[in-house]
Amino acid sequence: MGVAENAEPQEGRGAPRGLRPHIALVGRRNAGKSALLNALAGQPVSIVSETPGTTTDPVAKTMELSPLGPVVLLDTAGIDDEGALGERRVERTKNALRGVDAALLVTDGRWDAPERELAGLLAERQIPFVVVRNKADLEHAELPEAETIHGALRVSALKGEGVGAVVAALARILPEAALRQPPLLAGLMPAGGLAALVVPLDSGAPKGRLIQPQVQTIRDCLDGRASCLVTTPGEYAAMLERLAGPPDLVICDSQVVRETVAATPHHVPLTTFSILMARLKGDLAALAAGAAALEGLRPGDTVVIQEGCSHHPQADDIGRIKLPRLLRALAGGDVNVVMAAGAAFFAYPAQARAVIHCGGCVITRRQMLERMAEARARRLPMTNYGVALSLGQGVLERALSPFPEALAAYRAAREAQ
């Protein structure tokens, strides 16, 4: 495809490129494609200049785009490039569009032949796209009279304004298949490796079977030609002793994470089923960062506890009993808990300080991401049950240790508050 790699070091265990949705930035020269890419990345990745034709070859940049998660953004040369070389660049841009999951059609306010050509091309290739009307800060200045571009998002890449709405729009248009990362254990288990699964059989466990995340983990191990041992918290230490070496990964139920950590050698990667699900369903880095907000809670604060389904509450229900108890302990006093359940849209109350979402087993990744985008638009930190439970047991950093990006996001959010 002739795409230049940026000099960014490969992110250790980050999502492999093949699992990341690819998003192209297209438009005429000087529309601000590179400036928009930089605004999305939050760092100067592409060269921005007033000279038309600055970007010549497509440039791919892997990044975490919260709340979308890991993506590849593709900067391209202007579609209106001219001359013999220019035509070859245009060809490259068109080729780079092959296989992208979505596109941002960037315009400086004009909607003429180049924009129409691109819109036609994208439609023809069935690539969902958003029109980004950039340079909104220049509305009344040098720009030609802006045509009304239906549904265009107004953005100033230069000032970083409206960039969040672009990400939210991408979350809406990206096809489900592009966003889904099917293997729960992606990047975590070596082939031929061994995972230890710690599964409590308390009153909440269904009779005669295991719950979905546990089954999915076992299946993923087998698909990856790895093995797994499944045990209860009570048998776990004895099982470890019988092994000739430690397992490659330990995965436990969130509710027994503290005791599992205590029984596990320090160097063994360890996480919870909920954190694996959070990575699969949403953006783990953003959910980890959201957990930091719980540590800053004060008595009287409002926290939304949101569930994807409306299940029948159990005796020691996590959402209704355990998490409110945890929030009181963190805040050092009473916390105002607002429960939201079901698939319908829920308007977060203005006074809310944080949202704790369930694992979202009944909602799609896309729905989960839309909820995250909604919270983000309101500058409301969102975390999830599994992350919050590990935080409450004082072992969140350990449970995030297999996911360096998420661990870094949590630490950064903690420092920022």
Ligand X SMILES: Nc1nc2c(ncn2[C@@H]2O[C@H](COP(=O)(O)OP(=O)(O)OP(=O)(O)O)[C@@H](O)[C@H]2O)c(=O)[nH]1
| Selection from 338, 327, 317 nearest residue 293 by Cα | 327
* Opening angle at CA 26, ends 22 and 29, nearest 5: 145
Does 6 contact Mg ion by CB under 5 A?
no
Question: Taking CB under 6 A as the rule, which mask of x and - marks residues 115-154 in contact with ligand X?
Answer: -------------------xx-xx----------------
Site string for ligand X, 255-294 (x = CB under 6 A): ----------------------------------------
Q: Which is nearer to ligand X, 53 or 246 (CB)?
A: 53
Choose, by CB under 6 A, the member of 53, 164, 200, 296 that binds ligand X: 53
Spatial CA neighbour of 389 closest among 344, 323, 307 = 323
- For 323-340, give the DSSP string: HHHHHHHHHTS--EEEEE
Q: How far is the CB of 98 from ligand X (least distance, A)?
A: 20
- Tell me which of 1, 13, 49, 215 binds ligand X, using CB under 6 A: 49
CB of 35 to Mg ion, least distance (A): 8
| The entry of Mg ion, ligand X, none that residue 282 binds, CB within 5 to 8 Å by partner kind | none
Residue 237 three-state SS: helix
52-81 mask for Mg ion (x: CB under 5 A)? --xx--------------------------
Do residues 188 and 247 lie in contact, with contact meaning Cβ atoms separated by under 8 Å?
no
Instruction: Determine which residue in the list 3, 19, 158, 173 makes contact with ligand X, applying CB under 6 A.
Output: 158
CB-nearer residue toward Mg ion: 105 or 388: 105
35 binds, among ligand X, Mg ion, none (CB under 5 to 8 A by kind): ligand X
Q: Tell me how far apart the alpha carbons of residues 287 and 376 are, in angstroms, rounded to a whole number.
A: 11
Q: Which stretch binds ligand X (CB under 6 A): 52-60, 66-74, 310-318, 323-331?
A: 52-60
| Cβ atoms within 10 Å of 83's Cβ, excluding its own | 9
From Mg ion, ligand X, none, interface partner of 137 (C-beta below 5 to 8 A by class): ligand X
CB atoms within 10 A of CB 159: 12
Rg (CA), the chain: 23
Taking the complex as a whole, how short is the minimal distance between the CB of residue 104 and Mg ion, in angstroms? 13
- Rounded CA separation 46/75 (Å): 8
| CA 347 to each of CA 154, 156, 304, 324, 384: distance values in angstroms, whole numbers, following the listed order | 24, 27, 10, 20, 18
Measured from the CB of residue 142, what is the shortest distance to ligand X in angstroms?
A: 8
DSSP H helix total and E strand total for the chain: 15, 15
Task: Please report, as residue ranges, which positions from 28 to 47 form the binding site for ligand X (by CB under 6 A).
Answer: 29-35
Nearest-10 crossing angle of helices 365-377, 273-281: 80
Neighbours of 6 (CB within 10 A): 16
As measured in angstroms, the least distance from the Cβ of 52 to ligand X is 5
Measured from the CB atom, the residue of 52 and 175 that comes closer to Mg ion is 52
Distances (CA, A) of 365 to 43, 191, 232, 291, 361: 27, 27, 30, 20, 9
Query: In the stretch 11-50, what mask flags binding to Mg ion with x, by CB under 5 A?
Result: -----------------------x----------------
List of residues contacting ligand X (CB under 6 A) = 27, 29-35, 48-50, 52-55, 77-78, 134-135, 137-138, 156-158
List of residues contacting Mg ion (CB under 5 A) = 34, 54-55
